[in-house]
């Protein structure tokens, strides 16, 4: 018999965060989160997303042992402003037992029905900057800090419980050696001259901070037309500034501005922390922080986290300016692999950006939905 318990105390939430450590203890592809960071993201006093969202966290028990978990989430901006009567759920992990996954999903459905929502979709996070999608292909590739990893049996659980595919995401990678600077160097010069643009490069994180609000505004503007997009609020901007910007190599953030110094494009790349996080085993101390700092300086793999182009400049070749700057940075650092975060299958414009790099789709993931 499966028992579901809501995780409310600090001790319960810590068990919620630590459950995947046992579920994936034998996997060489799963990348653990930092426990402290994960707990803070679930803390309504620390994460400003809770100003516009609510969540309940559930643990499944069988024979007095934790066998599953799920976060049931409502984003009220999505519900009230976008008129999407959606019940979100994420951080959904479970042993290969249909009774367990069913019991957890029933708790999500129960919360959705209480609020008169129309359907549930997952796995998703609180917003667009959270992890998304259950892995359906690519189980033999290492995960990263901004995606979920899962066992192959997850997909069959969703489908046997009556869920249908909602959105498909592709993950692609390419060798830096595939980048031919001749392709974008001349285009970069032409585009800058034609539209009176210039690039901004950084060597210090504090120099980036005055531009971050503009970057998030451009992010909201760039992605607003995509399905499932929920804008980043002002308080979230401040939160992400403090949490992430100082952790990214400043030379991995590139901006393009016009002659009035208005931001027209940005890109954020992160060093891959996958191996470092595996060595850290969920803890920064005593040695985890050193593994992460080493990866920040020495990782030969990078992850293209975000790229945004103002709608007025889309399909005008502005990415040539960004790629030209990254080429110089990556060449200096000896980068080998370039990895892209999950991209909606329907987002054909983003795939056009990368067509000259011979990318390979190495993972697929999707979200599932079910009517309530």
Q: Are 228 and 161 in contact, with CB atoms under 8 Å apart?
A: no
**Average pLDDT of the chain to the nearest whole number:** 94
Q: 298 preceded by cis ω (within 30°)?
A: no
Instruction: Give the mean pLDDT of 340-346.
Output: 92
Q: Structure tokens of 364?
A: 């697929």
66-103 pLDDT, tens digit each: 999 999 999 999 999 889 999 999 999 999 999 999 99
36-52 pLDDT, tens digit each: 999 999 999 999 999 99
Residue 341 pLDDT grade (very low, low, confident, very high; cuts 50, 70, 90): very high
The conformational region for residue 179 under phi > 0 = left, psi -120 to 50 = alpha, else beta, is: beta
Residue 133 confidence (pLDDT) above 90: yes
| 112, containing H or E segment | helix 98-114
174-363 carries CATH number 3.30.1330.30:
no
Q: Where in the chain is the domain with CATH 3.40.630.30?
A: 2-170, 174-363
158-192 pLDDT, tens digit each: 999 999 999 999 999 999 999 999 989 999 999 99
Instruction: Name beta bridge partners: 266.
Output: 255, 308
Residue 226 pLDDT grade (very low, low, confident, very high; cuts 50, 70, 90): low
Question: Sign of dihedral through CA atoms 61, 62, 66, 70?
Answer: negative
Instruction: Give the mean pLDDT of 235-258.
Output: 88
Least confident among 18-22, 97-101, 244-248: 244-248
Instruction: Give the mean pLDDT of 343-351.
Output: 85
Q: Model pTM greater than 0.85?
A: yes
Report pLDDT for 31: 98
Q: In 133-284, which ranges are E strands? A: 134-137, 164-175, 198-200, 253-257, 263-271
Q: Are 337 and 301 in contact, with CB atoms under 8 Å apart?
A: yes
Residue 227 pLDDT grade (very low, low, confident, very high; cuts 50, 70, 90): low
Residue 241 pLDDT grade (very low, low, confident, very high; cuts 50, 70, 90): confident
Q: Are 326 and 345 in contact, with CB atoms under 8 Å apart?
A: no
284-308 pLDDT, tens digit each: 999 999 999 999 999 999 999 989 9
What fold is seen in the domain 2-170? Aminopeptidase (3.40.630)
């Amino acid at each position: 018999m499966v028992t579901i318990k809501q995780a409310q105390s600090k001790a319960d939430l810590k068990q919620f965060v630590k459950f995947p450590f046992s579920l994936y203890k034998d996997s060489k592809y799963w990348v653990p989160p930092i426990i402290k960071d994960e707990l803070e993201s679930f803390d309504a006093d620390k994460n400003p997303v809770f100003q516009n969202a609510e969540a309940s966290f559930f643990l499944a028990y069988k024979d007095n042992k934790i066998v599953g978990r799920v976060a049931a989430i409502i984003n009220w901006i999505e519900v009230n402003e976008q008129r999407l009567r959606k019940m979100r759920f994420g951080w959904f992990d479970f042993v290969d037992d249909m009774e367990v996954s069913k019991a957890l999903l029933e708790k999500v459905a129960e919360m959705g029905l209480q609020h008169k929502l129309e359907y549930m979709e997952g796995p998703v996070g609180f917003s667009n900057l959270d992890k998304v999608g259950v892995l359906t292909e690519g189980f033999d590739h290492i995960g990263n800090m901004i995606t979920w990893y899962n066992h192959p049996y997850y997909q069959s659980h969703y489908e046997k419980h009556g869920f249908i595919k909602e959105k498909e995401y592709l993950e692609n990678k390419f060798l830096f050696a595939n980048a031919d600077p001749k392709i974008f160097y001349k285009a970069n010069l032409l585009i800058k001259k034609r539209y009176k643009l210039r690039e901004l490069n950084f060597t210090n994180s504090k120099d980036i901070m005055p531009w971050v609000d503009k970057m998030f505004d451009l992010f909201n503007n760039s992605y607003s037309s995509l399905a499932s997009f929920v804008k980043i609020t002002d308080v979230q901007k401040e939160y992400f500034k403090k949490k992430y910007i100082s952790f990214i190599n400043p030379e991995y953030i590139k901006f393009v501005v016009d002659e009035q110094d208005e931001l027209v494009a940005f890109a954020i790349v992160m060093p891959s922390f996958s191996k470092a996080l595996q060595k850290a085993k969920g803890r920064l101390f005593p040695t985890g922080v050193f593994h992460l700092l080493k990866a920040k300086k020495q990782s030969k793999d990078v992850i293209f986290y975000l790229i945004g182009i103002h709608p007025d400049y889309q399909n005008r070749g502005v990415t040539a300016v960004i790629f030209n700057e990254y080429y110089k940075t990556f060449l200096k650092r000896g980068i080998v692999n370039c990895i892209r975060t999950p991209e909606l299958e329907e987002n054909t414009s983003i795939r056009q950006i990368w067509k000259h790099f011979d990318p390979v789709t190495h993972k697929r993931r999707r979200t599932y939905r079910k009517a309530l």
